[in-house]
Chain A
């Protein structure tokens, strides 16, 4: 089992460029999440998906879109990247009714 995988691991974008961060889990989890982690800010929820076919906004959704492609995959899209979106992005998943979230290794994104 690979757990939660994320691609790419590193990315540098210029302001205004777009990109999609990919996340996949092989644990048959129902819920999936996207967070960003900034120095001194902890983890902040961007979007989450409680089940296949549903998505909902988190604390900091502006500038992002998500797609729950199927039960395994949950992607995060930046349509027009801004320097304020420079961060480390983590995807996570969990079983419904179980507390623990399993995290991927993260994507380090720099927007210049």
Chain B
């Protein structure tokens, strides 16, 4: 069974601070996706990375896929209250990423 260890589980910071969320595994994944989930709603995709070493930026969010495709990180610069939510990483387990394995999530609270 492929597992994704996500850390930290909870993060509470002040507006303007930077933060990094990590997603680690001993398994290789064909792709790595990051989702954000608001209370009472389903997850929504933020980004997909597929190449080892790949870095993608989405405004103040930077996503990186490890060279060996076993780990990933999400860095948020100058966090804002609107960034509050549950962040989930998910690894694609088959050639076409037919199935996803999810990390347990990081609950981020950004205080004004």
Q: Which residues of B contact A99 (CB under 8 A)?
A: 31, 33, 48, 50, 92, 97
Of the residues B9, B43, B44, B98, contact of A50 by C-beta under 8 Å: B98
- A96 x B42 contact (CB < 8 A): no
Q: Decide if B66 is an interface residue (CB 8 Å cutoff).
A: no
- B42 x A103 contact (CB < 8 A): yes
Q: Decide if B99 is an interface residue (CB 8 Å cutoff).
A: yes
Query: A56-112: which residues lie under 8 A (CB-CB) from chain B?
Result: 58-59, 90, 92, 96-97, 99-106
* Contact A104-B42, Cβ < 8 Å, known A48-B99, A58-B99, A97-B96: yes
- A103 x B44 contact (CB < 8 A): yes
Q: Decide if A44 is an interface residue (CB 8 Å cutoff).
A: yes
Give me the interface of B with A, judged by CB distance under 8 Å: 1, 6, 9, 31, 33, 40-45, 48, 50, 88, 90, 92, 96-105
Give me the interface of A with B, judged by CB distance under 8 Å: 4, 31, 35, 40-45, 48, 50, 58-59, 90, 92, 96-97, 99-106
Q: A103-B43, A105-B41, A106-B40 are in contact. List 20 more A-B contacts (CB 8 A).
A: A35-B102, A41-B104, A42-B88, A42-B102, A42-B105, A43-B88, A44-B102, A45-B100, A45-B101, A50-B98, A59-B1, A92-B42, A96-B96, A97-B96, A99-B31, A99-B33, A99-B48, A99-B92, A103-B42, A104-B42
